[in-house]
Structure 1
Amino acid sequence: MKNRPLAMTYLRLAYLAGDHKAGVVFAIRYGDAHPQELAAADLQAAHFRRQMAPGGSWPRP
């Protein structure tokens, strides 16, 4: 994905959904990311999660 912040967000979202491999991929690809980039990806992933599961129920794999 050419959009680095969005790619980071989707990997964080996958990790929140229970995909443990997404955490490894995130660390490999974006281990050198600036703390502000990491915080932005976390905030956006949390926002997407709230949109996808407004009642708080989140499917576990």
Structure 2
Amino acid sequence: MSTNPAIAWQKSSYSSEASSCLYLATAPDTTLHLRESDEPDTVLHPDRAALAALIAACKKDR
């Protein structure tokens, strides 16, 4: 797993202790980072609008 000491990953409160966890981080330059625990080296960089749309879609499908 690649790590950047300037990025503090936060695990989703909805993730269990299993291996299907989402992590979100904000870099010092305010770039968003999103990854999934099964593929920790694959990191997405959504803008805030895209992340908000993803969260809204997930809440809608609960």
Length-normalised TM-score, structure 2: 0.26
Of the two structures, which has the highest relative contact order with CA contacts closer than 8 Å and spacing of 6 or more?
1
Length-normalised TM-score, structure 1: 0.27
Which protein is richer in helix relative to its size? 1
